[in-house]
Structure 1
Amino acid sequence: MSLDAAPLFTPLELPCGVVLPNRLAKAAMSDSLGDGIGNPTTAQMRLYERWAEGGVALSIIGEVQGHPNFAEKPGNLVLTEDANLDAFRKLAQRGAGDATQLWLQLGHAGAMTHPPIGTPKGPSALYLPGLKCDALSGGEIAMLPDMFAKTARLARDLGFGGVEIHAAHGFLLSQFLSPLFNKRTDAYGGPITNRMRLLFEVIDAVRGAVGPSFPVGVKVNSTDQLEGGLRTEDSLAVVAALDGTSVDLIDISGGTYFPGAVSASDATGSGAYFLDFAASARGKTRVPLMVTGGFKTRAQAIEAVVSGKADVVGLARSLVLDPDLPRRWQPAGFAQQGDITLPRFDAPPEGGITAWYTMRLTALGEDHEGYNIDLPAAVTAYNDRDAERTGRWRVRFNT
């Protein structure tokens, strides 16, 4: 295969008419850099500014909530009319330099809501070790599309480049898609055509709120990677149905943050995780595809685009280790030029690797180069910060 990096740096026009200057994106991660009451911080602004300076075409801010009662962590952002809108405007401005598109990922943790700061509720009641939630009522479900739409409209008005609707990784819209979480017997449960109903209502409401020229993406799972969860054939049915909507980008990932489950991002494989699914999805839709997960080398990214399996390559932990990676990948040369070697951790505790990368994100946002902290210290710092922010969140939002 040619090692010419040019395909990675070819512009891509989205269906809405917005043009991405290249094919490399910073995929959504829960950066946990909110101020503990839902607003952006200076460190968060600097973090996304660094990724823009590093040359990504698209950067997506993970888990921006439309309601404080269903957050994944107390470092999440909460974008409502009574948020610090000036701070959000500054984030939109600083993270969109050098032609980078900065999008907000619209989230709702559902059953995965962090209990100290919210009320876990999902499609169905669950009473499992480490995971307990009540079922959403029909009335509560009916209010969700408008909630997502209001957040999307605010994002547009504040200067963000687009939004991504989060329907992956075990959060609320993903829970509705998965038969493991969704045991409903009404119009939102049963066959996949019913289980995808809420997602499509949200898409319609968001598009109606932002208009035809504002990018709207959707992140979906190829698989939940859980026994009894979302199957590949059902995921492909969702992709095929998305082809009939106004979405501009389908972001393919996988895995679920189910207590005790192994995260896809903690896998030790050498290649991209979801390209085989993307190849099947390509035959189901004309919507541009972004594939996120497991890309560690420039050669892998080139192959994904040249093969036609992906239009956009989503990078996450590689960009935590080197925010300038896209610029390093531009020149012609060996496939190893600028490639990243991810650190290995012996017997990490559950959530430990996520904690280490999250604290490194903090270091990037504070311009602390040469970050070098061991895993136990990172876990302690991560948990201590969450505990402090939990107190502020509960006071601010009365949760």
Structure 2
Amino acid sequence: MPKSDVLFEPLTLPCGEVLKNRIAKSAMSDSLGDGTGHPTAPQNRLYQRWAQGGLAVSIIGEVQCLSGFAEKPGNLVLNENSELELFRKLAKYGCENGAKLWLQLGHAGALSYAPTSSPKGPSALDLPGLSCEELTRDEIKSLPSQFAKTALLAKQVGFGGVQVHGAHGFLLSQFLSPLFNKRTDDYGGEISNRMRLLLEVIEAVRTAVGDTFPIALKLNSSDQLEGGLSEEEALDVVGALEETSVDLIDISGGTYFPGAKAASDGAGKGPYFIEFAKRARGLTTKPLMLTGGFKTRAQAEEAIACGVVDMVGLARALVLEPSLPNLWQKNERLEPNFPRFKNAPEGGVTAWYTMGMTNISNEIEMPDTGSLEKVIQDYEARDQKRIEVWQKYFSENTI
């Protein structure tokens, strides 16, 4: 098959679901929730725009099962107390044009946003910029059913699938990482124990949603931190996933641990985790998706054509050009024009892309690349307003 065709071949997942091509919008925290955990009209427009742009699936970053462990006050919260009609509307917009819209099931754990949470992780931590209490065994045992309930609601209101978030230093990733997980019970110690909760969540979600609903997993290739989850341990997890009902393994890497380097630091050109994906391919028959570092159509085509992965996850490229899949299919914009930022302050580039999603949803121009300080101020001011909304709403509505 010519390379120019491989990106637009359908992909049949193990559950039987057919994705129309091999391009996904990987999960990003769009931060467009209303502060009460519910979707907004701008969020509907954003995912509608991506669906119309020709991709196979969009994944909504960090949708919480409970309000107490959110990553940011712009996260969505989906459970039995949510206004389900608002989620049903989001699912409808995001599933236009044959696209699928999946929810990424999240729990920030030790990285829960302190102004709206009481962070808890596998083990108690007291570090500069990061402190949390330890989850009790009963709290751990309740987690799989919480993920499962939210997954079932996602199915009932019309979303096309879910992705369990086991990467980037959030809760399930924390259990995998020996830096976060110092437990001495059967959820700590060897990697076989540290992956126990992740496998229990997958099993509970599958039991809840049935055999034909897609379940993906986002997995770190490593934490990219000394003493964290190693590539060898991550490959052990991949091997164990072969015995589960997961439909797609999305390979990523890195963590939001304070002071940790970005995934792009020192990664070189091209997909960041392609070498890990090559090793993982030999351990599993599960479809693999690779997220991080794709900047051209040629890079995406090569990853699929060589058989290493089955899908590519694009994030910032689809913020710059929401219609990129359609353009690539027409041999246009083969190399999107990524902006260069000089002397970017910490968090500035992420804030720029996050506010870029806001601008897309409001159908206005992208932010000025030369005003990152202003972008950060706008980003933080929006969060501050929603902190107040979040605290008031969830103090009156325990969900």
Short-chain TM bin:
over 0.9
Deviation string 1:357-387 (CA, Å, 9 cap, x unpaired) is: 1000000011113543521111000000000
2:366 pairs with 1:367: no
SS in structure 2 at match of 1:22: coil
Alignment partners' CA distance in 2, 1:85 and 1:209: 18
Q: State TM-score, norm by structure 1.
A: 0.97
2:324 pairs with 1:325: yes
Q: Contact 1:111–1:122 (CA<8 Å) still a contact in 2?
A: yes
Larger displacement relative to structure 2 (341-350 or 189-198): 341-350
Tell me the equivalent position of 1:347: 343
Alignment partners' CA distance in 2, 1:294 and 1:108: 25
Among residues 390, 393, 396, which one is paired with 2:393 in the alignment?
A: 396
2:337 pairs with 1:338: no
Alignment partners' CA distance in 2, 1:76 and 1:338: 32
- Once the two structures are TM-superposed, the CA of residue 263 in structure 1 deviates from its matched residue by 2.0
Matches within 5 A, 1:283-298: 283-298=282-297
Which stretches in structure 2 are left out of the alignment for 5+ residues?
none
Alignment partners' CA distance in 2, 1:189 and 1:4: 44
- Cα distance change of structure 1 residues 191 and 57 upon mapping to structure 2, 3 Å threshold: same
Paired letter, 1:84 = E
Paired letter, 1:311 = D
Larger displacement relative to structure 2 (112-121 or 337-346): 337-346
- Cα distance change of structure 1 residues 338 and 332 upon mapping to structure 2, 3 Å threshold: closer
Tell me the equivalent position of 1:101: 100
Alignment partners' CA distance in 2, 1:242 and 1:326: 30
Q: Contact 1:3–1:332 (CA<8 Å) still a contact in 2?
A: no
Q: State TM-score, norm by structure 2.
A: 0.97
- Once the two structures are TM-superposed, the CA of residue 266 in structure 1 deviates from its matched residue by 6.3
Larger displacement relative to structure 2 (363-372 or 150-159): 363-372
Tell me the equivalent position of 1:223: 222
Paired letter, 1:68 = S
- Cα distance change of structure 1 residues 52 and 266 upon mapping to structure 2, 3 Å threshold: farther
Identity among equivalent pairs (%): 61
2:237 pairs with 1:241: no
Q: Contact 1:33–1:44 (CA<8 Å) still a contact in 2?
A: yes
Q: How many residues align?
A: 395
Among residues 346, 354, 358, which one is paired with 1:358 in the alignment?
A: 354
Alignment partners' CA distance in 1, 2:330 and 2:384: 45
Alignment partners' CA distance in 1, 2:40 and 2:48: 12
Q: Contact 2:3–2:305 (CA<8 Å) still a contact in 1?
A: no
Tell me the equivalent position of 2:171: 172
Tell me the equivalent position of 1:54: 53
SS in structure 2 at match of 1:290: strand
SS in structure 2 at match of 1:218: strand
Q: Contact 1:266–1:353 (CA<8 Å) still a contact in 2?
A: no
Q: Contact 1:240–1:284 (CA<8 Å) still a contact in 2?
A: yes
Paired letter, 2:31 = S
Alignment partners' CA distance in 2, 1:8 and 1:195: 35
- Cα distance change of structure 1 residues 266 and 233 upon mapping to structure 2, 3 Å threshold: closer
Tell me the equivalent position of 1:209: 208
Deviation string 1:110-162 (CA, Å, 9 cap, x unpaired) is: 00000000011000011100000011000100100000000000000000000
Tell me the equivalent position of 1:380: 377
Larger displacement relative to structure 2 (263-272 or 245-254): 263-272
Q: Contact 1:329–1:338 (CA<8 Å) still a contact in 2?
A: yes
Paired letter, 1:293 = G
Paired letter, 1:49 = Q
- Cα distance change of structure 1 residues 332 and 75 upon mapping to structure 2, 3 Å threshold: closer
Paired letter, 2:347 = G
- Once the two structures are TM-superposed, the CA of residue 270 in structure 1 deviates from its matched residue by 2.3
- Cα distance change of structure 1 residues 162 and 233 upon mapping to structure 2, 3 Å threshold: same
- Once the two structures are TM-superposed, the CA of residue 24 in structure 1 deviates from its matched residue by 0.3
Alignment partners' CA distance in 2, 1:301 and 1:243: 25
- Once the two structures are TM-superposed, the CA of residue 345 in structure 1 deviates from its matched residue by 1.6
Alignment partners' CA distance in 1, 2:222 and 2:366: 36
Q: Contact 1:25–1:58 (CA<8 Å) still a contact in 2?
A: yes
Matches within 5 A, 1:115-130: 115-130=114-129
Please report the RMSD computed on the Cα atoms of aligned residues, expressed in angstroms.
1.4
SS in structure 1 at match of 2:7: helix
- Cα distance change of structure 1 residues 189 and 238 upon mapping to structure 2, 3 Å threshold: same
Alignment partners' CA distance in 1, 2:321 and 2:261: 25
Tell me the equivalent position of 1:17: 16
Paired letter, 1:242 = L
